[in-house]
Copies of this chain bind each other. A is one copy, B any other.
Amino acid sequence: MSIKPTDSELEILNILWTKGPSTVRDIHDVLEKSKEAGYTTTLKLMQIMLDKGLLKRDASNKSHVYTANISQEKTQGQLVQRMIDNVFNGSASQLVMQALGNYKPSTDELNEIKKYLDEMEGTDAKKKAPKSK
């Protein structure tokens, strides 16, 4: 059971994750700022995403209100997983180092990551990272 949103779908999901429940108009207004997009194109996309189960909606008003139906964290996890498998031959640390070498995070970010690593080391092969529900 694995989802695979397209790039366009991801754009919409990102907006929904950030802004919360939104109408097609809301989403479209955001998209328009960064790209050409027809209103009905956005509408159709979101209808298809509804079909696929990526979104859910409240249709009790004239303007339907859409919400993401998959969590940001879970989606990120699955996409990262896929990238590790398909692009890094299964090596998470390879991905991590590529991300770091490529990106050069700030010292603050570095420290955050190191802290995270230290915590992991302590717990060794115990369980997964803590997650706030």
Is A92 touching B100 in the complex (CB atoms < 8 A)?
yes
User: Of the candidates B7, B99, B102, which one forms a contact with A99 in the assembled complex, judged by CB atoms under 8 Å apart?
Assistant: B99
Q: Which residues of B contact A75 (CB under 8 A)?
A: 87
Cβ of A41 within 8 Å of any chain B Cβ, yes or no, is: no
Chain B: which residue is nearest A13 at the CB level? Answer: B87
**Chain copies in the assembled complex:** 2
Is B83 touching A109 in the complex (CB atoms < 8 A)?
no
Q: Which residues of B contact A86 (CB under 8 A)?
A: 7, 10-11, 14
Q: B-facing mask of A78-120, CB < 8 A → 1, else 0?
A: 0111011011110111111111111111010110111011001
Interface-side segment among A19-27, A43-51, A56-64, A121-129: A121-129
